[in-house]
Structure 1
């Protein structure tokens, strides 16, 4: 008997937009039913349940106690497709005797305890269209961490304002259609965190400052299409986590780390589009590539001013940069809050899930080719480009070194995307050595690019450079050339 699957589109919104969102759902859905739900999440001290890609919770729904185990399964930004095991139990503590064997195996007799809890008011309605039936649930509440080993009413809090659209029957496209209808009434963003992930992030000290890219779980037996989707979802999640932190930051100083990581996420996503172009190109490809480039450019202007301020020692120049710096961050907020960006993310998520590139017979051979030879070919081509563009670096101009930096960045992202394919034995050791040398080269070229970019940024603001280039520029170029030579001499891992 197949296990129950949960297919839902998770969206986030601002609490002040709740009335408009409720009104939009009232036009198409049934009368909402309100319930108050308390869910306690359990794990071991070493988080063995999480490491097994499972979630264990006990939910209080009135007098009922419902134990649920969820498998992470195939997870994407906003859209979640997971296997779940659900049973009614007596009491507030999980009954492991009836838990799936996979969970019991992960625990290995290690005791579990409540580590965080969610408290929400859920308003649930049913939306029926000609082709689909969707359960729409608005959750308003919070996630609280555990204190003293027991989920309590004190501790660190993460606020919740979510809309979950769960597909009861019909095509998944209906979820996105309803999401767009809601977005037209009140801005919504793709949800990237389950409630359990929010709880685990409460335990991470740096989670509120910025979020780095997570490892990408590719498998050697994969073909290129699912590999691209896995990579792209990871990039989108990386972006969305930092977008939220950035928008909630009190000022530019608090937002700088998240802005940098959001920009990195967009660059990684654009690199993935370029890397897999032969697999995914369809009539929407250029639209998404251009839109992501334009959004990244807005973030890039603010990031350039961050770097310039960090490097500037002249107090008068720092003072003159404050107003343009604030304006650049305001432009970032405007871009991220714009209807165009909200729609872009919904459209891109649907394209990843249901796009023509997944069914177009014209690219079936590219879409179904084995991942390992594809990865090796792309890595080799990028290495060749970097070798060619880095030759003669000490005598090259700034533009040539900039092109080498861009290629180094693409090679680094590609090596990170495909890391899981080369994780063990000699290949793993060579990969780590190669990536260390690549990171060193990228850092040296990045410093040179910042040096070359600073006068251009100042000129765009009508400011004459206050400081001459440092006397060690020649040494910086020689260091970059040495780092390039070291990388090219390194043994390939693919």
Structure 2
């Protein structure tokens, strides 16, 4: 059986407001639920993208096995298998789950529990039936516990667009942030070290996969990375979490640019504009963090720290805005439902092999970087900036589509290519920091503070230009991994 659900995170007070206003057309059914999650000591099931739980409600116990894409963001489509059980010990004799749990049976043990009070409704919307579950409670793992407050909207029948319409209705009553963690993932995170900044992870792809499917999977992974880092920023003003949140938005914007031939609808342009807005809202804080790392005087460092406080307060205001929350819901709907597939007359673009598509992308952006960077030393800042953007798209594309090039020779060439790309990007990025520092300092009224001019001195720029030219030569001379 397959489930399709949308998850939203609420505050405790927000859940109270939702229960008070109750927009779901009937009183809720209330249940106390206790769920025990099982895995091996080495977390073998988690590594396979599988969860196994036994959930108790009253005297009834249901065992559930779920398998799906851990890179999903907010909108989950997963396979699940359920069966009643008599006690708190898993039953593993179902042939449908035997392969999923292969080798794990003898080592399975309870790892953590989830205790919630569930408020549930069945909502009818046209031809759609949606099961709504508001869960208030906690996740308990060993001597740790964490609060849980989320609402799940699961499509039982009809169009999935109804899920997103209902999500927007909830957000009008109380702030609702796109949820990207399953209850199982919350438990595993509680067992590990305190979560912080999250870097991009590889998205499972196959060479037989269509370009459209590959795009949707990679885009969902970008949204997930953003939300995990946004959550980390809610706990502390961590510079790396902000950097990775910004990286995730840049990656998604680059993906949209790389794949723009697939899209022919007005929502694409609107979402690209909104993603650009949100990334720009994080820009000042990131630039200040970079300058703090390079500040050579206490006077400048202190003034920059004050400016950082203001910049992070602005970031927090932007992330908590209706506009940002709506963007996450809108982007998830657009990516997961995929109506854009029907807006393009050339269906062959969608069904093209993802590997063929990727190879064409690499050819295009390699030529841009190779040609544009021919004379980095004498080029102006704007030209170098354009080369930097093309190089960034090429590197992101190489990371996105890496799983498609998995032969031993391809993997070796890919590692070398990424190393060379990182070297070129680092030099171009440092040059860009030098170019933007004067305007940034002027905007912060710090141009005359002691040490300010050290952030963009000519001697450092001359050395960076030489290093960038060498990095570009290495890039041009590195063997392609895709041909």
TM range (shorter): over 0.9
Give the equivalent residue in structure 2 for 1:286: 269
Contact 2:71–2:203 (CA under 8 A) maintained in structure 1: no
Give the equivalent residue in structure 1 for 2:339: 356
Give the equivalent residue in structure 2 for 1:230: 217
The 3-state SS of whatever aligns with 1:284 is helix
Give the equivalent residue in structure 2 for 1:168: 156
Alignment match of 2:299 (pick from 298, 312, 316): 316
Alignment match of 1:389 (pick from 372, 377, 391): 372
Deviation string, structure 1 residues 442-469 (Cα, Å, up to 9, x no partner): 1122122222222121011222253341
Larger displacement relative to structure 2 (259-268 or 470-479) = 470-479
Distance 1:75 1:328, change over 3 A: closer
The 3-state SS of whatever aligns with 1:471 is helix
Contact 2:133–2:153 (CA under 8 A) maintained in structure 1: yes
Give the equivalent residue in structure 1 for 2:46: 50
Alignment match of 2:453 (pick from 467, 478, 481): 467
Aligned-pair distance for 1:337? 1.0
Contact 1:245–1:258 (CA under 8 A) maintained in structure 2: yes
Contact 1:7–1:80 (CA under 8 A) maintained in structure 2: yes
Give the equivalent residue in structure 2 for 1:217: 204
Give the equivalent residue in structure 1 for 2:139: 143
The 3-state SS of whatever aligns with 1:93 is coil
Contact 2:6–2:76 (CA under 8 A) maintained in structure 1: yes
Q: Counterparts in 2 of 1:89-108, with a 5 A limit?
A: 89-98=85-94, 100-107=97-104
Aligned-pair distance for 1:17? 0.8
Larger displacement relative to structure 2 (414-423 or 136-145) = 136-145
Deviation string, structure 1 residues 124-174 (Cα, Å, up to 9, x no partner): 1121223222111101112222x3xxxxxx22x332110001112111111
* Counterpart check, 1:9 vs 2:25: no
Q: Distance in 1 between matches of 2:243 and 2:2?
A: 37
Give the equivalent residue in structure 2 for 1:36: 32
* Counterpart check, 1:239 vs 2:235: no
Give the equivalent residue in structure 1 for 2:321: 338
The 3-state SS of whatever aligns with 1:444 is helix
Give the equivalent residue in structure 2 for 1:111: 107
Contact 2:262–2:344 (CA under 8 A) maintained in structure 1: no
Larger displacement relative to structure 2 (30-39 or 429-438) = 30-39
The 3-state SS of whatever aligns with 2:292 is helix
Aligned-pair distance for 1:489? 0.7
Question: Normalising to structure 1: TM-score of the pair?
Answer: 0.92
Contact 2:71–2:224 (CA under 8 A) maintained in structure 1: no
The 3-state SS of whatever aligns with 2:135 is strand
Q: Counterparts in 2 of 1:179-258, with a 5 A limit?
A: 179-205=167-193, 207=195, 209-249=196-236, 252=237, 255-258=238-241
Aligned-pair distance for 1:52? 2.2
Aligned-pair distance for 1:422? 0.8
Count of matched residue pairs:
476
Deviation string, structure 1 residues 104-123 (Cα, Å, up to 9, x no partner): 4252x551111222111111
Q: Counterparts in 2 of 1:428-443, with a 5 A limit?
A: 428-443=411-426
Aligned-pair distance for 1:73? 5.0
Larger displacement relative to structure 2 (167-176 or 469-478) = 469-478
* Counterpart check, 1:419 vs 2:377: no
Q: RMSD in angstroms over aligned alpha carbons?
A: 1.7
Larger displacement relative to structure 2 (64-73 or 371-380) = 64-73
Q: Distance in 2 between matches of 1:455 and 1:206?
A: 37
Q: Distance in 1 between matches of 2:245 and 2:32?
A: 35
Q: Distance in 2 between matches of 1:171 and 1:370?
A: 28
Question: Normalising to structure 2: TM-score of the pair?
Answer: 0.94
Deviation string, structure 1 residues 69-105 (Cα, Å, up to 9, x no partner): 1111586311111111111112212122347212342
Contact 1:219–1:420 (CA under 8 A) maintained in structure 2: yes
Contact 2:5–2:154 (CA under 8 A) maintained in structure 1: yes
Larger displacement relative to structure 2 (384-393 or 198-207) = 198-207
* Counterpart check, 1:490 vs 2:478: yes
* Counterpart check, 1:262 vs 2:245: yes
Distance 1:263 1:181, change over 3 A: same
The 3-state SS of whatever aligns with 2:180 is coil
The 3-state SS of whatever aligns with 2:345 is helix
Alignment match of 1:87 (pick from 83, 89, 112): 83
